[in-house]
A and B are shown apart, each in its own frame.
Chain A
Amino acid sequence: MVDRIADIWGTRTPYAQGEQWPVRVDQVLAKGLTGQDVDRWVQSACVLCSNGCGIDIAVKDGAMVGVRGRAADRVNHGRLGPKGLFASWQGVSNKDRLARPLIRENGELVETDWDTAMGRIVSRSKALLQEKGPLSHGFYTSGQLFLEEYYALGVIGKAGLGTPHMDGNTRLCTATAAAAMKESFGSDGQPGSYTDIDECDAIFLYGHNMAETQTVLWARVLDRISGPDKPLVVCVDPRPTEVARHADVHLPVRPGTNLALMHGLVREVIRNGWIDEEYIASHTLRFEDLADQIEQWTPEAVAAECGVDASAVVEAARIFGTSRRVLSTVLQGFYQSSQATASSCQVNNLHLLRGMIGQPGCGILQMNGQPTAQNTREAGADGDLPGFRNWENPEHIKELAELWDVDELVISHWAPPTHAAQIFRYAEQGSIKFLWISATNPAVSMPQLPRIRGILSKPDLFLVVQDLYMTETTKYADVVLPAAAWGEKTGTFTNVNRTVHLSEQAVEPPGQARSDLQIFLEYSRRMDFRTNSGGPLLDWEGPEDGFNAWRECSRGRPCDYTGLSYERLRGGSGIPWPVNDEHPDGTDRLYGDGTFPTHGEDTEDYGHDLTTGASVGPQAFKAMAPNGRAIFKTAPYQGAHETPDGEYPLRYTTGRTAYHFHTRTKTGRAPQLHDAAPSMWVEMSPGDAESLKLREGDQVRVESRRGHLFAPVRIAGVRTGTVFAPFHYGYWDDHEGEDPEQHPTAANELTLTEWDPVSKQPVFKTAAVRVTKVADATGPAPAPTTTASRPARAGRVPATAGGAAGEVSETIAPAEPQAAAPGKEES
């Protein structure tokens, strides 16, 4: 047994380059139970991060009582991380679950039945359609539902109502991944594979604290690092993360300066001639656009702007330029910071310069933050059209109209679908009057919370919230719908590296809770949305009908699911798309032949100017004639919009801890995870703490131009001049001060409303703040010691551990690993 709170990544199973990652099966069961007590194991995949680990759910007496990793799954080879181990089942089987719909009566939410709740939604919806039309309706969904549910929502919004106002909280986590791939390669679609970790000579992690956000993926990297021919590791992160501790080069950049660093790396790689001129000539265009933007970014200029050593920049560039096989991964440090798309495109550009895409070990992983974010993007529940179709391409709109048998004019495509911040702005201005929020908690996760609370509480906004629990957001709802959770419904979802998993229903939902799919189908039925031929728009009986409908929608598109079925996904491993006649067993990597989806008729997006977000448009795109070549896209460096000054002298950045996911709706209800990181803290460097005369655990007030919060301070290794705050902590379990106006603690009280001009992803990583002490410490800050929040000076804070409750069984090498390449592993 291993305490997986104390040891987040579990026991090492070292392996060498090119070998298969050994199997290690992690299993945890409720206290007092053994494997023999389990009635049955039900196949699924984990939804507590974007990694997509294959998981089996233990069921006893109709309840979830534990989980184990699936040995045969290509993603995790049996492993699970602390969030999956402890929160996936305990976060669902909980007394607090919503079991009945609620409606607002005389200002109070009261229990009701489904007929009344749905009746109220539909009557408001119909009245608004009559009075104002479909643009009065907005939908804000999640990266947590299943593919079938997003597709149902996408069809309702696009072909039923005809509103462009649909987005997901994926806008907050993964929009830049999609945007960067569209700009560089013409379409969304992850080029790389997790198997690139097995093959690479060097791995670059750009703003990606993989050790905490995708712990199982990091275990794979750790096993390579402990193996005989370890890859070189380069880490870009302002905090001393576990990744940084293992890095050969750590670049702790000032938040907001990523693009300056990237320009510097690209410049070094080009000037040293570490480029593949033949590849550039045959498979790319607009190489010449790079020169103007990068010229000034000498290693010394980068050092001055980013606050890192010039020699470290040179060394990082040398590793990139001279390693035979390089894997790059990118996440929130880039996506949620200034010039997000431009910075992420420079990662793509580095790989294009060396022709290192789609070959073993030469991958790019533009990561996702959430387990099913890929499907939000694919199925059209966010600011994209289903099947990576291009809203500016009339042929694509026609395809959808034919598929759905509706009028082309119903499908709004005069502009890109409305992004989340703009949806909230329209609600603020009163032109969106009906907002349906599913499986997300904007009252904690959106930037500038005082403003968001004001919008959600507007009397003229009819707010529907669909969730597992009462949250900070349900508080403002006119109707609350109790949703079935993971394990209580069947559906599919797709992870970062395109691997599709089936998640089967293991138990019944509590009380009257219904799956999100059932709820959306019921809305469609009651609204009487119809096709041109007069049939119901959505005639699905259940999730498998939804999957089959989606399969048709994906036909011939980059995310082709036509070779998949529920039957095909039962047993064995998940399978990466495209899966079709050409690739019957799936596809491990994309673009190995140097051909990209940039033909005018295929491309998902004609691209943008990365500085302003101006559309390139069909004419200019076709005139450029990329015809299958990738495009070097870049922009001049501008830096953060809000930087420290005399009044607000510190940089503020937000982020995550290994023990929690999002606003802790599930992880906060797993005792092991709750106890490891029970409440809010902020991190400051020893130097900054000393100048403010702060000691470990002192209560501080952190204030920006938009709001303030109170929290104890952890004196940690974050770079001097920067304050870090975890974004997980809202108010649902805050027993001291229930009212965020009276005693604010959430990180997003301080963040500013601003977004990347292309991906429209909000900027959470740069703001200016000041810190003042409000009280002496009563103990150390409640921050883990096992992660990037470890104290700067060891030995003064008790180590984070789970004790007996944190114990997990690990079975090393019970089976040979499955062959990683598609087509060889099916048993």
Chain B
Amino acid sequence: MKLPVYLGLLHRCEHTLAESFRQVADGHGDEPDVYFLCRALADQCEKHERALQPIVERYGEVDKDDEPERLHADGLSSTRSGAVGLLRDLQDLYLLGSLVDITWTMVKQAAQGLRDAELIGVVTRCEAETKTQLEWLSTRMKQAAPQALIVAE
């Protein structure tokens, strides 16, 4: 069974996303909404990691798979500055969040196949929050993009 591979992937990418949210918060402290929300969303990602724990205990998780990673989603190495820098950092978070989102979806498919009510419950709660994270990032970027791309210096 390869579900542990996906549980490992999910665990890692929630962890990466949490760290990246925290990094963007610290790097963009002059944008109070970004600062406070990214910190809250980092906490949310860590909550998701904890929610996965009992599932991982049952199924195990695989750190390294025989299918090697082709696309590396390592998180943000550092944050950028300025209006376009903010946009790029939020966009990177969006990419990481999308990976989390689709991974939850795959795990949910497996959970349904396994008729695992506990796992379905965990996925349903976390997946909805991940979607809202993506919606917030999109809302915030749409607001910032014209100013950043047209008039910012």
Residue B146 interfacial (CB < 8 Å): yes
Closest B residue, CB atoms, query A447: B32
Residue A643 interfacial (CB < 8 Å): no
Interface string of A402-416 (1 = CB under 8 A from B): 000000000010111
B-contacting 9-mer, from A130-138, A233-241, A547-555, A726-734: A130-138
With A612-B37, A612-B132 as known contacts, state yes or no: A431 contacts B152, CB within 8 Å: yes
Residue A116 interfacial (CB < 8 Å): no
Contact yes or no, B33 A429, CB < 8 A? no
Interface string of B141-153 (1 = CB under 8 A from A): 0110111001111
B-contacting 9-mer, from A40-48, A750-758, A804-812: A750-758
* Nearest CB in chain A: distance from B144 CB, A: 8
Contacts of A132 in B (CB 8 A): 150-151
Contact yes or no, B132 A611, CB < 8 A? yes
Which of A418, A614, A638 has the most B CB atoms < 10 Å from its CB?
Answer: A614
Contacts of A416 in B (CB 8 A): 143
* Nearest CB in chain A: distance from B35 CB, A: 9
Contact yes or no, B151 A133, CB < 8 A? yes
Residues in A730-773 with C-beta less than 8 Å from chain B:
752-755, 757
Contacts of B82 in A (CB 8 A): 429
Residue A430 interfacial (CB < 8 Å): yes
Which of B33, B133, B142, B150 has the most A CB atoms < 10 Å from its CB?
Answer: B33
**Which of A164, A431, A609 contacts B135, CB < 8 Å?**
A609
Contact yes or no, B139 A614, CB < 8 A? yes
**Which of B83, B132, B151 contacts A609, CB < 8 Å?**
B132
Residue B36 interfacial (CB < 8 Å): yes
Residue A613 interfacial (CB < 8 Å): yes
Residues in B30-85 with C-beta less than 8 Å from chain A:
30-33, 36-37, 40-41, 82-83
Contact yes or no, A133 B150, CB < 8 A? yes
Residue A13 interfacial (CB < 8 Å): no
**Which of B30, B40, B132, B152 contacts A614, CB < 8 Å?**
B132
Residue A512 interfacial (CB < 8 Å): no
Contact yes or no, A414 B146, CB < 8 A? yes
Contact yes or no, B151 A431, CB < 8 A? yes
Interface string of A118-138 (1 = CB under 8 A from B): 000000000000001101100
* Nearest CB in chain B: distance from A805 CB, A: 45
* Nearest CB in chain A: distance from B90 CB, A: 13
Contact yes or no, B150 A614, CB < 8 A? no
Complex Cα gap A366–B142 (Å): 30
Interface string of B6-41 (1 = CB under 8 A from A): 000000000000000000000000111100110011
**Which of A136, A425, A641 contacts B36, CB < 8 Å?**
A641
Complex Cα gap A438–B83 (Å): 27
Closest A residue, CB atoms, query B86: A429
Contacts of B145 in A (CB 8 A): 414
Contact yes or no, B32 A614, CB < 8 A? no
Contact yes or no, B151 A614, CB < 8 A? no
Residues in A312-352 with C-beta less than 8 Å from chain B:
none
* Nearest CB in chain A: distance from B27 CB, A: 15
Contact yes or no, B135 A755, CB < 8 A? no
Closest A residue, CB atoms, query B43: A638
Contact yes or no, A612 B146, CB < 8 A? no
Contacts of B133 in A (CB 8 A): 612
Complex Cα gap A139–B34 (Å): 24
* Nearest CB in chain B: distance from A445 CB, A: 17
Contact yes or no, A755 B143, CB < 8 A? no
**Which of B136, B151, B153 contacts A613, CB < 8 Å?**
B136
**Which of A429, A613, A754 contacts B32, CB < 8 Å?**
A754
Residues in B80-119 with C-beta less than 8 Å from chain A:
82-83
With A609-B132, A614-B138 as known contacts, state yes or no: A755 contacts B150, CB within 8 Å: no
Residue A426 interfacial (CB < 8 Å): yes
Contacts of B41 in A (CB 8 A): 612
Contacts of A429 in B (CB 8 A): 82-83, 152
Contacts of B138 in A (CB 8 A): 614-615
The count of residues in chain A whose C-beta lies closer than 8 Å to any C-beta of chain B is 33
Contacts of B83 in A (CB 8 A): 429, 431
Contact yes or no, A757 B37, CB < 8 A? yes
With A431-B83, A613-B136, A614-B136 as known contacts, state yes or no: A755 contacts B151, CB within 8 Å: no
Contacts of B152 in A (CB 8 A): 429-431
Complex Cα gap A794–B139 (Å): 53
Closest B residue, CB atoms, query A128: B151
Contacts of A614 in B (CB 8 A): 132, 135-136, 138-139
Contacts of B33 in A (CB 8 A): 613, 754-755, 757
Residues in A385-427 with C-beta less than 8 Å from chain B:
412, 414-416, 418, 421-422, 425-426
Complex Cα gap A414–B138 (Å): 12
With A414-B142, A431-B152, A757-B33 as known contacts, state yes or no: A426 contacts B136, CB within 8 Å: no
Contact yes or no, A638 B40, CB < 8 A? yes
Residues in A235-263 with C-beta less than 8 Å from chain B:
none
Complex Cα gap A132–B153 (Å): 10
* Nearest CB in chain B: distance from A789 CB, A: 30
Complex Cα gap A415–B149 (Å): 14
Contact yes or no, B136 A609, CB < 8 A? yes
Contact yes or no, B32 A753, CB < 8 A? yes
Contact yes or no, A425 B31, CB < 8 A? yes
Residues in B124-138 with C-beta less than 8 Å from chain A:
132-133, 135-136, 138
Complex Cα gap A641–B40 (Å): 10
Contact yes or no, A612 B32, CB < 8 A? no
* Nearest CB in chain A: distance from B78 CB, A: 20
Contacts of A428 in B (CB 8 A): 30
Contacts of B139 in A (CB 8 A): 415, 612-615
Complex Cα gap A194–B40 (Å): 40
Interface string of A442-479 (1 = CB under 8 A from B): 00000000000000000000000000000000000000
Contacts of A136 in B (CB 8 A): 151
* Nearest CB in chain B: distance from A182 CB, A: 15
* Nearest CB in chain A: distance from B28 CB, A: 11
Complex Cα gap A609–B130 (Å): 12
* Nearest CB in chain A: distance from B124 CB, A: 12
* Nearest CB in chain A: distance from B99 CB, A: 19
Contacts of B142 in A (CB 8 A): 414-415
Complex Cα gap A757–B31 (Å): 13
Contact yes or no, A612 B151, CB < 8 A? no
* Nearest CB in chain B: distance from A198 CB, A: 42
* Nearest CB in chain A: distance from B32 CB, A: 5
Interface string of A90-122 (1 = CB under 8 A from B): 000000000000000000000000000000000
Contacts of A422 in B (CB 8 A): 143
Contacts of B151 in A (CB 8 A): 132-133, 135-136, 431-432
Contacts of A431 in B (CB 8 A): 83, 147, 151-153
Residues in A633-660 with C-beta less than 8 Å from chain B:
638, 641
Complex Cα gap A135–B40 (Å): 31
* Nearest CB in chain A: distance from B17 CB, A: 15
With A429-B83, A753-B32, A754-B32 as known contacts, state yes or no: A612 contacts B136, CB within 8 Å: yes
Contacts of B37 in A (CB 8 A): 612-613, 757
Which of B31, B133, B138, B139 has the most A CB atoms < 10 Å from its CB?
Answer: B139
Complex Cα gap A133–B146 (Å): 11
Given A421-B32, A614-B135; 19 other pairs, CB 8 A cutoff: A132-B150, A132-B151, A133-B150, A135-B147, A164-B146, A412-B146, A414-B142, A414-B146, A418-B143, A422-B143, A425-B30, A429-B152, A612-B132, A612-B135, A614-B136, A641-B36, A754-B36, A755-B32, A757-B33
Residues of chain A at the chain B interface (Cβ within 8 Å): 132-133, 135-136, 164, 412, 414-416, 418, 421-422, 425-426, 428-432, 609, 611-615, 617, 638, 641, 752-755, 757
CB-based closest 7 A-B pairs: A614-B135, A612-B136, A614-B136, A415-B143, A431-B151, A135-B151, A431-B152
Q: Provide 9 A-B residue pairs closer than 8 Å at the C-beta atoms, listed in order of the A residue.
A: A132-B150, A412-B146, A415-B143, A428-B30, A431-B151, A609-B132, A612-B133, A613-B139, A754-B33
